[in-house]
Amino acid sequence: MLASCIVTEKPNVKWEDVAGLEKAKESLKEAVILPLKFPQLFVGKRKPWKGILLYGPPGTGKSFLAKACATEANGTFFSVAASNIVSKWMGEAERLVRALFDLARAKKPSIIFIDEIDSLLTNRSEGENESTRRIKTEFLVQMNGVGKDDEGILVLGATNIPWELDPAARRRFQKKIFISLPDHDARRAMVKLNLGTTENDLTELDFDELAVKTEGYSGSDIYTLTQDAIYEPLRKCQHAKFFMKRGENFLPCSPSDPGSFPMTLLEIPDPEKLLTPPVTMEDYMIAFSKIKATVSQKDLEKQDEFTTNFGQEG
């Protein structure tokens, strides 16, 4: 059952696909790539990191960084969710946790990635369910318990609410990296990455303006914004009443354009001959009216407070 957690196909996300987050990438390379490629460097008191916690607002790239680790690392990568661990049978969940770490030890070097780790390792409280408490205890013992071999295993966790983690779990993550909202240069790079090879007539000044206008947006928000802007040319085709010929192809146009003739999208004789207009700055302005930033100032303040007390900037 746990074998399904092993990522067998690489996600094909390279480090250069992650815009910004230089300190976070540096820490992950230090923890994941270097021990695998240069094991001779990690001898004596210099030990590889055993636990790294990525935390920050939703949509800032925590899971994306984990995908880059899965692509770049040559070890066994486990992607674990609460559904892989929790069971309705008494004692089954603890056995699954133990089996997960035993499997990771058998296939080491291994990376165990747990997304939304707060669903498994929240604060232990007086009135909580006994089975939930036993899962947490087993997890903590396996991560760093007496007589447990943790050589060659890295536990990588991601959460949006790090302050809800149990203090013992927080202690076991030696590095706690804050994945913050992207800065100006990262936002500019994200717009370009999300546009990809889509035909557009944006200039370098337009990209600078978009980087300014997306201040406060997360990486996920910028992706959604760009997707909406990319869809605008399709909407123009859908609503167009006039088309013009460009070689053998059809392009939507206004009635005043030379060579225009009345036609709707569904009347085009060969669908493969349809051309879409390039993405313009105007398309982005329309997208801005619909796509807003999703991260609140209150949430950012709580993340900053946790970083001040326990974490480090990514």
Residue 211 has pLDDT above 90, yes or no: yes
Residue 146 has pLDDT above 60, yes or no: no
pLDDT of amino acid 202: 92
Q: How far apart are the first and last CA of the chain?
A: 34
Separation between Cα atoms, residue 225 and residue 309, nearest integer Å:
34
Instruction: State mean pLDDT over 212-233.
Output: 93
Q: Which domains does the chain have, with CATH numbers?
A: 2-181+301-313 (3.40.50.300), 184-291 (1.10.8.60)
Q: Using alpha carbons, list the distances in angstroms from residue 28 to 87, 237, 277, 290.
A: 32, 45, 41, 35
Which pLDDT band holds residue 287 (cuts at 50, 70, 90)? very high
Q: Which amino acid is at 114?
A: I
Residue 3 has pLDDT above 80, yes or no: no
Listed in sequence order, the residues at least 6 apart from 222 whose beta carbon sits closer than 8 Å to its beta carbon are: 182, 187, 190, 191, 194, 214
pLDDT of amino acid 148: 64
pLDDT of amino acid 145: 60
Residue 204 has pLDDT above 90, yes or no: yes
pLDDT digits (tens, 9 = 90+) for 166-190: 888 888 888 888 888 888 999 999 9
Percent of the chain with pLDDT over 70: 92
Which pLDDT band holds residue 94 (cuts at 50, 70, 90)? confident
Closest CA to 198 of 159, 230, 172: 230
Provide the 8-state DSSP code for 126: T
Q: Using alpha carbons, list the distances in angstroms from residue 93 to 124, 129, 172, 297.
A: 17, 13, 20, 38
| Helices 130-144 and 92-106, axial angle in degrees (round to 10) | 20
pLDDT of amino acid 135: 81
